[in-house]
Amino acid sequence: MSWLEGEFKPQNKGVAKVLGELEARVMEIIWDLGEATVKDVHQLINQEKKLAYTTILTIMGRLADKGLLIKKSIGLAHSYTPAVSRDEFYNKVAETVVDGLFEEFAEPAFTHFLKKVEKDPQKLAELEKMLLKIKEQQG
């Protein structure tokens, strides 16, 4: 997936950890709407920040090229739908980041993960359930 080949930016929030900030905002809008034209997205983004229509057109084209949006022709305009759901996106990002960490930094990554989990009783309970399920599956 070409959208995972970029830089991971842990200091950014949400989808912008993987995509550019404007790409992330466009994806959030399209996930919320389910389907949108460039005009739809441009109007929504312009309520927050004034940008040229062609800027949004370029961003949406790039997101389609990366495999995140599906472009359909509607007369002279184009409609875009998400190629992956928000949950699929988050899961793939998490899988890729964790795989990369464990491949190169297994021990410190695991240690920091456990330190983070132990501070949250709910997350600790979830981890315990997952471990029990794995043990049951292994027999």
Instruction: Give 108-128 pLDDT, tens digit per residue.
Output: 988 988 898 889 999 989 989
Beta bridge partners of 72: 79
pLDDT band at 12 (very low <50, low <70, confident <90, very high): confident
Beta bridge partners of 78: 73
pTM for this entry: 0.80
Domain ranges of the chain: 2-84, 87-138
**Of the listed ranges 13-27, 45-59, 79-93, the one predicted with least confidence:** 13-27
Residue with tokens 């029990």: 132
CATH class of residue range 2-84: mainly alpha
Beta bridge partners of 73: 78
pLDDT in tens, 34-82: 999 999 999 999 999 999 999 999 999 999 999 999 999 888 889 999 9
